[in-house]
Chains A and B, each alone.
Chain A
């Protein structure tokens, strides 16, 4: 678990941006 976190922390900005894109796509698909 800790080793996975160590590998993932430097990628956090891209993970957050990818999640934001997913949420935006979900909102456009179901709320527009």
Chain B
């Protein structure tokens, strides 16, 4: 049944961090920021920011605050294999008070561009495997087509179902935090070995005066075996075997649920991959970053083309707001890809668990008391 059996880990010479940044990241960041300036003049006829409010957003936000918003959301979310949306949308709505109809497409602009930094950064770092990314992406691509129809035909009020998803997310978030406790690790041999190996390598590097990386230079996620039924990948000294139909079904299920209820796909996918397959956070990024990139593109296309074609109604994004956030978000996501190897998995799971659990809790609360921002 096996189509291919590969276990190759050729050592590719990697460029220095500065070279990688200058060649791959700086042009993208500069181009996105220049698009922000151009969009500002073309859409409004002047440069937004500072005392001049964003006309569509209806808020005056200093430019540094937008750049900072992009950077911190891009960095934090890429660390756990997600895009900025979960943080940048509620932040824009509740802190910056950009809470009109234009906020959703604007946020889509940020999440389409932002994972590019993580995608290129993790690819250079060896945390990249298209065999692993393929099936969840394909499943979600199909599933996300069904969502809007289910929503229109069968689901007039999605809020109770969203509350159920919130409950599931809260459980997943709590489980992620539970997974870092010594009591849990005592019962999981493979996860304990991975954690201990990471810690030992980081300690050794710190003692030698180097940055405490728990992942050795040159480590790559490789495909050991792939067929229509099973996928086996390896990273460092461990292997994980996954059912291809389950990976595809997971993508399909997440795509249907997320697009029907308008919740973030990656928000569901990351904790599910960690919990179901017991994969380290350093490995799941190989699937979730291409996944979120693809889903954001589909989302933006749907918002800009399909919805206007079907309804005749179009709400344009505040392009400059989106681009000014997206530029530094690309940098933040790239920085996350470069520094994730210095952060212990327990910290990553704590951040992912807190974000997932808190998001779930918000969906749940929103069922009982409407929140002042859209989730």
Which residues on A are within 8 Å of B, measured CB to CB?
2-3, 5-6, 9-14, 16-17, 19-20, 23-24, 27-28, 32
Contacts and interface: CB of A to CB of B under 8 A. Distances in A.
Given A16-B75, A17-B76, A27-B95, A9 B339 contact: yes
Interface string B341-375: 01110011001000000000000000000000000
A24 B162 CA distance: 27
A2 B342 contact: no
B342 A9 contact: yes
Contacts of A2: 209
A27 B209 contact: no
A6 B212 contact: yes
Nearest to B73: A20
Contact of A13 (B65, B79, B95, B202): B79
Main SS of the interface on chain A?
Answer: helix
B212 A23 contact: no
A6 B212 CA distance: 6
B150 interface: no
A7 to B, nearest CB: 8
A13 B211 contact: no
Contact of A28 (B68, B95, B339, B347): B95
Given A6-B211, A17-B76, 12 more contacts: A5-B211, A6-B210, A9-B339, A9-B343, A12-B343, A13-B76, A13-B347, A14-B347, A16-B75, A16-B76, A20-B68, A23-B68
B interface bracket (residues with beta carbon within 8 Å of A): 20 to 34
Interface in B78-96: 79, 91, 95-96
Contact of B211 (A9, A11, A14, A32): A9
B2 to A, nearest CB: 40
Nearest to A12: B339
A12 B348 CA distance: 11
B206 interface: yes
Nearest to A23: B68
Most chain B Cβ neighbours within 10 Å, of A2, A14, A20, A28: A20
A12 B96 CA distance: 24
A5 B206 CA distance: 10
